């Protein structure tokens, strides 16, 4: 075979091999390769807040019950609308809550509770003037309505009406000297006004007057504890602002001992340690706070 013919055969063989390779790569998936393909990883499970889901399901069940009663027209009074409105309010469905409270007021026009509840729903809708009008009506019907004074004070504060807010907080406390939430709210107002000594005193009052009643439910006790820890956190924050670092550290340690998963407390303690020059503990607390932030985010969803 001459040299030219040999080269021709070799070129033909290479061409055939190339054609076969291209065809297979475009049209055939080899079995060996297919079996080695990794399965698609499942999405990570996100923890569900089962307690909140259970509560929402229970509230919806009660809403359905009241709705069926209203639809039937049997034994429908203002209280039925009021109770359903409270359930909508707890679910933050403010507009339908307002409708129910309005029906309750239509049927029982002298109910301070219905006016107060509708004010809360208006507040949720940011209709603050309407909320104040309902709170005025509630207070007119019930002069010793401490909760209505406290809520009206909070709205005045949001509107920048500081003097009226302070007066209403003091009115609430004159009615109920153990109203820890009103002390706390007044402390926050003073804190925003940079009246730190007054703020510290009111947070102290909130702490000392955080007293659980004898027949408190588990949810009441949990809410009371949450308010107590908030007061400690804010008092620690004020102490940090005025450079009373030991007092700040004492308060925030109490919070962390009581609630080891309190992200805000770890962040505040990190700032306290940093101001003390304790860099190692400051960084450790910041890392803990970051981890808790991620955990809380997952639990909320």
- Which pTM does this prediction carry? 0.78
Model pLDDT for residues 173-228, shown as the tens digit of each residue: 999 999 999 999 999 999 999 999 999 999 999 999 998 777 889 989 999 999 99
Q: Is residue 93 part of a domain?
A: yes
What's the confidence (pLDDT) of residue 74? Answer: 82
State yes or no: pLDDT of 81 exceeds 90: yes
Q: Is 65 within the bounds of a domain?
A: yes
The mean-pLDDT minimum among 11-25, 160-174, 183-197 falls in 11-25
Of the pLDDT bands very low, low, confident and very high (cuts 50, 70, 90), residue 49 is low
Q: Which residue pairs, CB below 8 angstroms and at least 24 apart, start in 61-67? A: 62/87, 63/87, 63/88
pLDDT number for residue 24: 39
For residue 58, is it within any domain?
yes
List pLDDT tens digits, range 250-268.
999 999 999 999 999 999 9
- CATH assignment at residue 110: 1.25.40.10
pLDDT digits (tens, 9 = 90+) for 96-130: 999 999 999 999 999 999 999 999 999 999 999 99
Does 84 reside within a domain?
yes
94 in any annotated domain: yes
Say if 113 falls within a structural domain. Answer: yes
Q: Which domain holds residue 128?
A: 48-142
Number of folded domains that form the chain:
1
Tell me whether residue 98 is in a domain: yes
287 assigned to some structural domain: no
């Amino acid at each position: 075979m001459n040299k030219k013919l040999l080269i021709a055969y070799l070129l033909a063989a290479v061409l055939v091999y190339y054609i076969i390779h291209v065809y297979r790569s475009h049209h055939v998936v080899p079995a060996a390769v297919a079996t080695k393909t990794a399965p698609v990883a499942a999405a990570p499970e996100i923890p569900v807040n089962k307690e909140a889901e259970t509560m929402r399901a229970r509230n919806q069940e009660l809403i359905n019950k009241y709705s069926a009663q209203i639809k039937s027209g049997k034994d429908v009074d203002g209280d039925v609308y009021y109770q359903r409105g409270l359930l909508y309010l707890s679910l933050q469905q403010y507009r339908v809550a307002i409708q129910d409270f309005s029906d309750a007021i239509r049927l029982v026009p002298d109910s301070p509770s219905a006016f107060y509840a509708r004010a809360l729903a208006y507040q949720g809708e940011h209709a603050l003037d309407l909320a104040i009008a309902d709170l005025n009506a509630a207070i007119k019907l019930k002069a010793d309505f401490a909760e209505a004074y406290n809520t009206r004070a909070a709205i005045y504060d949001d509107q920048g009406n500081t003097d009226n807010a302070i007066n209403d907080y003091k009115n609430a406390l004159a009615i109920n000297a153990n109203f820890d939430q009103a002390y706390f709210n007044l402390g926050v107002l003073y804190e925003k006004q940079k009246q730190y000594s007054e703020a510290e005193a009111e947070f102290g009052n909130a702490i000392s007057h955080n007293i659980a009643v004898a027949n408190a439910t588990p949810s009441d006790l949990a809410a009371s504890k949450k308010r107590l820890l908030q007061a400690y956190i804010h008092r620690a924050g004020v102490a940090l602002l005025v450079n009373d670092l030991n007092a700040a550290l004492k308060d925030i340690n109490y919070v962390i001992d009581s609630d080891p998963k309190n992200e805000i407390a770890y962040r505040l303690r990190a700032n306290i340690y940093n101001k003390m020059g304790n860099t190692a503990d400051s960084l450790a607390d910041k890392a803990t706070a970051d981890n808790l932030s991620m955990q809380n985010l997952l639990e909320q969803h």
